[in-house]
C-alpha cells in the first residue's frame, strides 16, 4: 500500500451525545483508527460493521472451560491407566481400577454437559431462523 501524505485538515465540532454516537459506531466498525473510519464515511458513505452474538460468546467461554476440564480429566485418566498397567499387587490394582472408574464417570458427565450446551445453543439458533 502506497503512503499518502494528507496535508489538509478538517475540523468538526460535536456535542457530547453526537461524539458518543459516532464513537459507538466506530467501535462496531472494522476501522482501527477513528480518522480512517470518518474518512471512509465521508468519501464513500460505506462502512463495515461487525456484530457480536452475546449468546455465542457465552457458549464459547463455557466450552473453553469444559475443554480444559476434559483435558485435565483425560490426563488423569491416562496416568491411572499407566499405573494400572504397572501394578503387580491385587490390592493396589483394585485401588487404581476404582480410581479409573471414578474418572470415567467424570468424563461421561462432562461429555453429557457439553452435549447439553450444544443442544441449548442449537435450539436457540434454530428459534431465530
> What global pTM score does this model have?
0.45
Q: Residue range 22-28: average pLDDT? A: 88
Tell me if 48 sits within 8 A of 30, measured CB to CB. yes
pLDDT in tens, 55-68: 677 777 877 888 88
Residue 78 clears pLDDT 60, i.e. is over it: yes
Amino acid at each position: 500500500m502506497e503512503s499518502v501524505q494528507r496535508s489538509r485538515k478538517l475540523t468538526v465540532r460535536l456535542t457530547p451525545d453526537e461524539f458518543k454516537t459516532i464513537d459507538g459506531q466506530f467501535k462496531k466498525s472494522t476501522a482501527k483508527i477513528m480518522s480512517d473510519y470518518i474518512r471512509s464515511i465521508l468519501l464513500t458513505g460505506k462502512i463495515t460493521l461487525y456484530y457480536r452474538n452475546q449468546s455465542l460468546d457465552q457458549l464459547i467461554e463455557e466450552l473453553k472451560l469444559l475443554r480444559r476440564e476434559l483435558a485435565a480429566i483425560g490426563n488423569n485418566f491416562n496416568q491411572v491407566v499407566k499405573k494400572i498397567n504397572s501394578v503387580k499387587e491385587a490390592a493396589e490394582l483394585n485401588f487404581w481400577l476404582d480410581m479409573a472408574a471414578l474418572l470415567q464417570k467424570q468424563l461421561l458427565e462432562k461429555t453429557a454437559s457439553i452435549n447439553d450446551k450444544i443442544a441449548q445453543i442449537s435450539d436457540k439458533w434454530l428459534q431465530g431462523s
